[in-house]
Structure 1
Amino acid sequence: MTAKWMKWMTELTSRKWISRLIGRFSHSEVSRLLIPAFAKSYGIPLHEAEKDMKEYRTLNEFFTRRLKPDMRPIHSLPEGLISPVDALITAMGDIQAGTILNVKGQDYSLEELLNYSPRTETYNHGYFFVLYLSPTDYHRIHAPVTGRKLESDHIKGKVYPVNDFGMRNMRKVLSRNERLITYISHDLGEVAVVKVGAMNVSSIKYTDAQAKLWNRGDDLAYFEFGSTVVLLIENGTFEPLPELAAGCKVKMGEPLGRFRTAGNTRRGAADTSRSD
């Protein structure tokens, strides 16, 4: 199948009404019949799930499952930034004058990604991670820092796929898809957790829409089916782990790097271990 044909099919199947239909089915009780096949097909580690597979009433309930306690230890370094999700790092690096460079061959304007928010300036020369969640992954999103909510922004948009084909062949998917953005202030700066919807995702939801404060690792939100998180870090506040690169897998709670403090130099960032 040619790329042109695949692109046309992607456009056709990325309509909101199709996403809503799939969403309604995944919330129906009949969808529970698909859970065993879904789990087997994607190699989902069932031993990590909070409940036995037979206890989930719908496919959506299984997909947004919580994990057993202590399945994702939270890294203890006080000035560390943790991954908010289980994911593949598809891109990471410095933000260049408001531009996120070379995400699957495309550059992204930070203004477009954040829907021209006044907060854009906070990140114009900061750092970014693009974290892709496949259907295999645990799909809850956790707070990457201990802090308080400054603002939340829900941006309506398309539902293009965020897999490799979609990101390479569809124009500016991250800036065109539906997004739910959480801006969080913490002791050493500010971060933005940009949750990007995708094809067949009926919604992105906060675990507690009234929450204002989070400890690092607290349950923040969840996707209904696979998607992507773009994590933005304030200008001049962060050093990534030197061993991380695009193509690395990370688990929720593992460190991505550390925030700069008075005695924290670039060399200090390299001392952060991915395990306690």
Structure 2
Amino acid sequence: MAKRMMRLFTELSSRKWIAALTGRFSHSAISRPLIPVFVKMYGIPQNEAEKEMGEYRTLNEFFTRRLKPGMRPVHDEPNGLISPVDSLITAMGTIQDGTIVNVKGQDYTIAGLLNDSPHLEKYSHGFFFVLYLSPTDYHRIHAPVAGRKLESEHIKGKVYPVNDFGMTHMKTVLSRNERLITYIAHPPGEVALVKVGAMNVSSIKYTDEKAAAWNRGDELAYFEFGSTVVLLTESGTFTPLEGLKAGTAVKMGQLLGTFRPISDEQATTKNRPFKSEVPG
């Protein structure tokens, strides 16, 4: 009975207009006094922030803060896949015939997650990471590989919570919530960066809408309030780091695993991007 009531409450509160109201409040100056409350409540390390706490004009401005240079070093493994975010690994593993198995007791199809994209066949036997960002975490999203943008798709959807209750008791929230998907081509193949909205998330935004390529670790997008990133690698291209498992906390820039090395001929074929190709 209690779970049914909680699900009903979640259904009623997970409306876009509520997220919009929350967003307007967090962007307004009247939200500023909540910043120190927010910091204390979630134990946010103030020393990492780019600016002093008193310099942030709104709660949203603080929540989407950048960090001081050097706070998140990017691993230098040349064939590495790095974590795009500070997060907890909720689930990870091999995609089985187009299905992500047992994420908090639920299975997800790649077709549902990617909205039947033409890209989905590339990931039917790939690898996945489900990366949950709590309110404590840094909420900027960075490029997990060096590569060029193939496509971006915004999928309108619900704003169910992606916390433990939402992921366990609400039906397939990762495929039903609002999503912003970025497909990135890189030398061994392709990755999909699925940014999933959540309750009270007023938006998911690209840092630079016109960006056509990124170096590994470049800032790519950001969440306004907590959410989840699902990271997919193309079939047969990736090996996860030994010992990495669900329940592990990772920082942006941390190594998640490696791609298979490619030959010079393959690199030319894949049109590998160099720094000179990245805008700005």
TM-score interval for Structure 1 and Structure 2 normalised by the shorter chain: over 0.9
Amino acid at match of 1:65: R
Which residue number corresponds to residue 21 of structure 1?
21
Question: What are the Cα deviations for residues 215-243 of structure 1, in whole angstroms up to 9, with x where unaligned?
Answer: 00000000000000000000000000111
Q: Residue 162 of structure 1: SS of its match in structure 2?
A: coil
Q: Residue 118 of structure 1: SS of its match in structure 2?
A: coil
1:59 maps onto 2:59 in alignment: yes
Which residue number corresponds to residue 173 of structure 2?
173
Which residue number corresponds to residue 116 of structure 1?
116
Question: What are the Cα deviations for residues 109-136 of structure 1, in whole angstroms up to 9, with x where unaligned?
Answer: 1001000000000101100000000000
> Is there any run of 5+ residues in structure 2 with no aligned partner, and where?
264-280
Which residue number corresponds to residue 194 of structure 1?
194
Question: What are the Cα deviations for residues 45-68 of structure 1, in whole angstroms up to 9, with x where unaligned?
Answer: 100000000000100000000000
Deviates more, 1:3-12 or 1:159-168: 3-12
Amino acid at match of 2:202: S
Question: What are the Cα deviations for residues 228-275 of structure 1, in whole angstroms up to 9, with x where unaligned?
Answer: 000000000000011110000000000000001259xxxxxxxxxxxx
Q: Residue 47 of structure 2: SS of its match in structure 1?
A: helix
Question: What are the Cα deviations for residues 119-161 of structure 1, in whole angstroms up to 9, with x where unaligned?
Answer: 0001011000000000000000000000000000000000000
Q: Residue 119 of structure 2: SS of its match in structure 1?
A: helix
Q: Where do residues 5-16 of structure 1 align in structure 2 (5 Å cutoff)? A: 5-16=5-16
Looking at structure 2, the residues matched to 84 and 262 of structure 1 have their Cα atoms a distance apart, in angstroms, of 23
Which residue number corresponds to residue 148 of structure 1?
148
Which residue number corresponds to residue 270 of structure 1?
none
1:71: Cα distance to partner? 0.1
Q: Where do residues 88-167 of structure 1 align in structure 2 (5 Å cutoff)? A: 88-167=88-167
Which residue number corresponds to residue 42 of structure 2?
42
1:3: Cα distance to partner? 1.1
Looking at structure 2, the residues matched to 181 and 3 of structure 1 have their Cα atoms a distance apart, in angstroms, of 31
Amino acid at match of 1:61: E
Amino acid at match of 1:90: T
Q: Where do residues 209-248 of structure 1 align in structure 2 (5 Å cutoff)? A: 209-248=209-248
> Is there any run of 5+ residues in structure 1 with no aligned partner, and where?
264-276
- Percent identity reads 74
Which residue number corresponds to residue 266 of structure 2?
none
Looking at structure 2, the residues matched to 129 and 27 of structure 1 have their Cα atoms a distance apart, in angstroms, of 31
Which residue number corresponds to residue 185 of structure 1?
185
Looking at structure 2, the residues matched to 188 and 170 of structure 1 have their Cα atoms a distance apart, in angstroms, of 36
Amino acid at match of 2:24: R
Looking at structure 2, the residues matched to 213 and 70 of structure 1 have their Cα atoms a distance apart, in angstroms, of 22
Looking at structure 2, the residues matched to 132 and 115 of structure 1 have their Cα atoms a distance apart, in angstroms, of 21
Which residue number corresponds to residue 272 of structure 1?
none
- Are the equivalent residues in 1 in contact too, given 2:187–2:262 (CA < 8 A)? no
TM-score normalised to structure 1 length: 0.94
Which residue number corresponds to residue 271 of structure 1?
none
Which residue number corresponds to residue 78 of structure 1?
78
Question: What are the Cα deviations for residues 183-225 of structure 1, in whole angstroms up to 9, with x where unaligned?
Answer: 0001121100000000000000000000001000000000000
Q: Residue 93 of structure 2: SS of its match in structure 1?
A: strand
Which residue number corresponds to residue 268 of structure 2?
none
